[in-house]
Amino acid sequence: EAAVTQSPRNKVAVTGGKVTLSCNQTNNHNNMYWYRQDTGHGLRLIHYSYGAGSTEKGDIPDGYKASRPSQENFSLILELATPSQTSVYFCASGDENTEVFFGKGTRLTVV
């Protein structure tokens, strides 16, 4: 069964600190995505990747970096975390015009 695993599931970070959110997929999908979900905004695309070694900016990339070292792994990096980055983050994987599979999410609180 298709699986996307995110870690950690919950994270409290201090302002100015570095945060790394990790994602692993066992679907062998080419495409991977990072979204954040906030009330009133739905799902907003931060970064995406269409294969190992590639990262592309989504709609709200400012303050975030991404890394795709392998087909299976896609990380989201907050170099200098700010309270405005408090949110629920979802990683997902998929291929062209097919179902996108989401992880269970990471709840990040920046204090």
DSSP result, 30-45:
SEEEEEEEETTTEEEE
- Check binding of 33 to other proteins (CB under 8 A): yes
- Check binding of 5 to other proteins (CB under 8 A): no
Distance separating alpha carbons of residues 25 and 31, to the nearest angstrom: 10
- Check binding of 100 to other proteins (CB under 8 A): yes
CB of 43 to other proteins, least distance (A): 4
- With contacts defined by CB under 8 A, name the span among 10-18, 44-52, 61-69, 77-85 that binds other proteins: 44-52
CB of 15 to other proteins, least distance (A): 26
- Check binding of 56 to other proteins (CB under 8 A): yes
Total residues contacting other proteins (rule CB under 8 A)? 25
The answer to whether the Cα torsion of 32, 43, 96, 57 is positive or negative is negative
Residue with tokens 């599931």: 9
Q: Which helix (H) or strand (E) holds 91?
A: strand 87-94
Distance separating alpha carbons of residues 37 and 35, to the nearest angstrom: 7
Interacting residue ranges for other proteins, rule: CB under 8 A: 4, 31, 33, 35, 40-43, 45, 48, 50, 56, 58-59, 90, 92, 94, 96-97, 99-100, 102-105
